Amino acid sequence: MYDLTGFQRDLLYVIAGLDEPHGLAIKDELEEYYESEIHHGRLYPNLDTLVDKGLVEKGEVDQRTNSYTLTRRGRREIAARRSWESEYIDVDT
């Protein structure tokens, strides 16, 4: 996970929190969080990077729509990141 950008990590978290989301659902979630428009030219190349790294699997809903799910490796990477973060951040205080 150390070699991902912050945006790519956010993509992983959004995909983890939704049930096989398609690109526009992911885009909507990120736009709400970032409070700005996420362009397709930013979204889809970063999703493809996550697929290429084996963190996300891309499925096909129909001929125009893809769905995205975390791979086992993607879930492990998120768990490892959260564990590492918890060493430095105590959110309970």
Token pair 């659902």: residue: 25
Could you tell me the pLDDT band of residue 15, with boundaries at 50, 70 and 90? Answer: very high
Instruction: Answer yes or no: is pLDDT of 90 > 90.
Output: no
Q: What are the tens digits of pLDDT across the range 28-75?
A: 999 999 999 999 999 999 999 999 999 999 998 888 889 999 999 999
Helix H or strand E encompassing 59: strand 56-60
Could you please state the CATH topology (level 3) that the domain comprising 6-86 is classified under. Arc Repressor Mutant, subunit A (1.10.10)
pTM (two decimals): 0.89
pLDDT of residue 93: 58
pLDDT of residue 88: 94
- Would you state the structure tokens that stand for residue 45, as one six-digit string? 């190349």
Q: Is 46 within 8 Å of 7 (Cβ atoms)? A: yes
pLDDT of residue 1: 78
Cα–Cα nearest to 66, from 57, 74, 78? 57
